[in-house]
Every structure is written in C-alpha cells, then in structure tokens.
Amino acid sequence: MLLLSREDIKKVFSIQDAIEADKKAFTLVADKKCDSPLRTNIQAPKYDGCFLFMPAYIEEMDTASLKTVNIFPHNIDNGLPTSPAQVLLIDGKTGIVTAVLDGTYVTQLRTGASSGVAFDLLAKKDCRIGALIGTGGQAATQLEAMVAVRNLEEVRVYDLNYERTASFAARMQEELKAYGTKITAVSSSDEAIDDADLLITVTPSAKPVFDGTKIKKGCTVSCVGAYQHHMQEMDPAILPRASKIYFDSQEAVLSESGDILLPLEEGIITEEDFTGNIGDVIKGTLTGRENDDEIIVYETVGVGAQDLVTAKTIYEKALSAGVGMQWEA
C-alpha cells in the first residue's frame, strides 16, 4: 500500500493535471460510466460540522475509491484544515487497497479544478479581473485554477476577516507569482466583484455573500461552498439574470445545495432554467457560452468520480516517480 502525503502529491501533480483529471471525471459521469452513490452526510451539530463519505467505482478503470471528508468550518480559527480527509484507492480486480492519499489536498485540487474546468470551457476568452470570496482551506487551489486558465491582471479577494484576507492575499501573491497576476485583499464583497469577469465563492455561508444585481454582463460565476440545504452563498438574484446554469452533477446539486434548492422552493427559478451538466459540454453535446454578454452560473458540490480519477492519476504518477512511502500491512 502506497501512502501519499501532500508534499508527495505536490512533487508529481499540478493544478493543470487536476483540471484534466476533472474533465475526464465529468465525462465519465455524463456517460454514466461511474457508479457513485450520493454521499452519506452525518451531522455533527455540536461543532457545526459533518462527516461525509463518498464512494465511487469505475469499471473501465478497474478502480474504486472511498473518500472520507469531514467539514468543520471553525477549524480555520485554530489554524487547522476546515475539511480534513483521506482517500482510499482500491484495486477493482482484487478489492485490495493500493493507496491512501492525503484527502484534504486531493479535495482541494479536484475542487479547485472544478472551477478551472468551468472557466476554461465557459468563461470569455478575454478576462481581466477575477474575484474570490472566501479564504478557507479550499481557497488557494480555487485561486490557482482561476489564474491557470485565464490570463488575469488582478484577482480581488474578500473574506469577513480582513486581517486573514490580507495574509492570504500576500501568501498567494508569492506562491502564484509565476502567473503574473496581482492578488489584492479588499474590504467588501462589492469591491471584490466590481467589474469582475470571473467570480468564485467558496464559503460555508447560510446567506448570500455577493449582490447578484451588481454582477456585470459576461461574468462567469462558480459557487462552490453550499453543500447542505441551509447553505446559500449565491445571491438568488443572479439566477434570473443568468443566460445559462450548469452543474458538475445536477442530481448531486439537487440533493443538497441550498444555492439552487432554496431558489427553486421560492419560485425564483424552475428546473426548466437549468442548462445541464458540464460533462456534456466537454463531450460537445451541450452548448457552452455563445457570446461575451452572457452571465453564466456554475454550481458544484463535488462527485466521487473526481476523487477517483484524481487519486488514480496521482497514484500512477507517484509510482512512476518513486514517490511516497510503501506500507506493508
């Protein structure tokens, strides 16, 4: 069994690799080639947390996986990961666990890459300004995915805690300096989204974190954080303005995301307003952006296929490079 830490993974796997892995995963989901039941969610209300279990099996890859990811948003106050996790990679021929990967980092990579896929396929080609709302454990890879797929002049970052925002922006300016994008901490959501061509929200908020009436024409919005019914970081005012609404998995989103479920219940939108899954855009069977004035919304909650394909790709690269620690049980 190969044990792969965050540092091991960094040696062999980039955000660009993660974006390509997500594209493959979303295509497999669209082709119904991944057996991935909706995740099991066990609440831990004492700590505003929850335990999530995400299995997946892809027969043509002879691989299964199980990710445990536990969401504890208050961890950020203690300098701990907000979504500690592990991924078990399983040989589909024998049922033997072949690898255990740092699931926190796998989750960060594949979740950031999901926004990267959306922007790569759906954003305008000429984008200058990005906005990122949220600076928790998922934020860094979201930011890198954004600047990896579009040559941005500036990304403005906003969080409720300005000191934390400024620290995050300074750290990311250094880590992502090769991209040549200015990373700026701002003190309000309105300042972040002003004239933004790309927007990512990645928070556990139960109320909207931006004003949907102030999103400019042509913006592509990726909402990442709402994985439970009561969570709603997306302002529903954006939905009637959107030309198209895409999902990583419409089934998964409609099972849990308040960003979409609450506006449906309130009659702000209907399912007829949905465009479809991004995997079908990748396949060429669903239309993407048609002009530079369209506002496009992408809602992602994550699917097990992402974890499986990402973990499998990392495992194969690590084996080739001799990276990781072998553990004989």
pLDDT tens track for 194-251 = 999 999 999 999 999 999 999 999 999 999 999 889 999 999 999 999 999 999 999 9
Q: Report, as an integer, the average pLDDT of 50-79.
A: 93
Q: How far apart are CA 56 and CA 307, in angstroms?
A: 8
Query: Which of 121, 126, 150 minimizes the C-alpha distance to 288?
Result: 121
Predicted confidence at residue 282, as pLDDT, reads 98
Active site residues: 67
pLDDT band at 255 (very low <50, low <70, confident <90, very high): very high
Do 278 and 23 form a contact (C-beta atoms < 8 A)? no
Predicted confidence at residue 9, as pLDDT, reads 98
Q: Report, as an integer, the average pLDDT of 107-133.
A: 97
Is residue 132 over pLDDT 90? yes
Q: Which residues of 13-31 are buried (b: 16+ CB within 10 A; e: fewer)?
A: bebebbbbbbbbbbbbbbe
Q: What is the pLDDT of residues 158-182, one digit of tens each?
A: 999 999 999 999 999 999 999 999 9
pTM of the complete model beyond 0.95? no
Q: Report, as an integer, the average pLDDT of 119-127.
A: 97
Predicted confidence at residue 329, as pLDDT, reads 66
Helix (H) or strand (E) holding 288: none
Q: Report, as an integer, the average pLDDT of 36-40.
A: 86
Predicted confidence at residue 69, as pLDDT, reads 86
Mean pLDDT of the chain: 96
Is residue 48 over pLDDT 80? yes
Predicted confidence at residue 106, as pLDDT, reads 96
Is residue 300 over pLDDT 70? yes
pLDDT band at 12 (very low <50, low <70, confident <90, very high): very high
Do 199 and 210 form a contact (C-beta atoms < 8 A)? yes
Domains defined along the chain, listed by start:
2-106+305-326 (3.30.1780.10), 112-303 (3.40.50.720)
pLDDT band at 95 (very low <50, low <70, confident <90, very high): very high
Q: What percent of the chain has pLDDT over 70?
A: 100
Give the CA-trace dihedral at 215, 218, 206, 75, to 10 degrees: -110
Predicted confidence at residue 155, as pLDDT, reads 98
Predicted confidence at residue 228, as pLDDT, reads 87
